[in-house]
Amino acid sequence: MGKPALLERPAKRPTRKEWAERLLKAATIHKPAGLGPFPLVMQFHGCGGLRPFQATYAQAALKAGYAVMIVDSFKPRGLSRLDGSLVVCTGLALHGAERAADVYALYAWAQEQSWVDSRRIVLSGWSHGGWTIMDALALGDRAPRFAKLSDLPADPLKGLAGTVLVYPYAAWPSMTYARGWAGRKPKVFALLCGRDQVVGVRYPPRAIDRLEKDGLAVDRLVFHDATHAFDDEKASDPRSRYRADYLQQATDWYAKALRAI
């Protein structure tokens, strides 16, 4: 077996368009009935890769009138779910700042689509996906160094309407607590878990507190008795406990958040 493409040195840095085309081959897009333009939410999975519960959240978004893109950040990099557990969840590769390339490339692509309401594009992320979104906003002028795209503008997420962060990773080397979001002020909806032994219970609230202090509009929901990945019925981490009741509450909250953006 060859090593994952993620660990190979690329011949050159792709443009946003080139990387978006690669990501789109593995992405799934759902649209509401009608011609649009529709608001769009892009969903970014955790370090374990795509999980079935992403479709449950997508259905909630569709009912809220949103088009949905479920992003697979692993397949374009030659990563399996096992690879994710071994090299991504352990922090050996694909930190949030590097994966931010996916956010920048797909955001630029979405802004050019006639069926997308470019004023209402939302980024949603679970765990590592939340870290990715937060770093994409925090990087500022360091984005070209980390995201490794050849044509990043000064503000690659200009006009972003909102973010939805579900049990996001926010400890080092995540950048939000230390740097904020470089003056960017999308609406923020954050769902945190009171018994989260994976990303912890200290750092996610500190990062969200930082955003509030910076003047961002933040709506925070805390499930005090929930663990990390409470919404994943087949979570591989033994510290996670599936809660169908919390999943229902979370998808209701997700749809309400999207309607508010």
The Cα–Cα gap between 24 and 110 comes to 11
Cα dihedral angle (206, 48, 46, 54), rounded to 10 degrees? -140
- 95 Ramachandran zone, left/alpha/beta (phi>0; psi -120 to 50): beta
For residue 4, tell me if it sits in a domain. Answer: no
At 4 the pLDDT is 53
The Cα–Cα gap between 156 and 148 comes to 13
At 158 the pLDDT is 96
189 φ/ψ angles, rounded to the nearest 5 degrees: -120, 125
At 10 the pLDDT is 56
Question: Looking at the 3D structure of the chain, how many domains does it have?
Answer: 1
For residue 14, tell me if it sits in a domain. Answer: no
For residue 7, tell me if it sits in a domain. Answer: no
For residue 16, tell me if it sits in a domain. Answer: no
At 1 the pLDDT is 40
The Cα–Cα gap between 191 and 193 comes to 7
SS3 124: strand
Sheet of strand 38-44, all strands in order from the earlier edge strand to the far edge: 28-30, 67-71, 38-44, 116-126, 162-166, 187-193, 218-223
The two structure tokens encoding residue 200: 């912890």
The two structure tokens encoding residue 195: 């018994």
Instruction: Quote the domain boundaries for residue 176.
Output: 22-260
The Cα–Cα gap between 160 and 113 comes to 15
For residue 5, tell me if it sits in a domain. Answer: no
For residue 136, tell me if it sits in a domain. Answer: yes
Burial (CB count within 10 angstroms: exposed 0-12, middle 13-18, buried 19+), residue 66: buried
Can you say how many angstroms the Cα of residue 48 is from the centroid of all Cα atoms in its chain?
13
The Cα–Cα gap between 213 and 234 comes to 37
Burial (CB count within 10 angstroms: exposed 0-12, middle 13-18, buried 19+), residue 187: middle
For residue 241, tell me if it sits in a domain. Answer: yes
Residue 215 belongs to a domain with what CATH number? 3.40.50.1820
The Cα–Cα gap between 27 and 115 comes to 17
Neighbouring C-alpha atoms within 13 Å toward the C-beta of 24? 12
Q: Which residues of the chain carry a pLDDT beneath 50? A: 1-2, 7, 9
For residue 240, tell me if it sits in a domain. Answer: yes
Residue where the block lists tokens 């333009």: 37
Give residue-wise pLDDT tens across range 43-58.
999 999 999 999 999 9
At 11 the pLDDT is 63
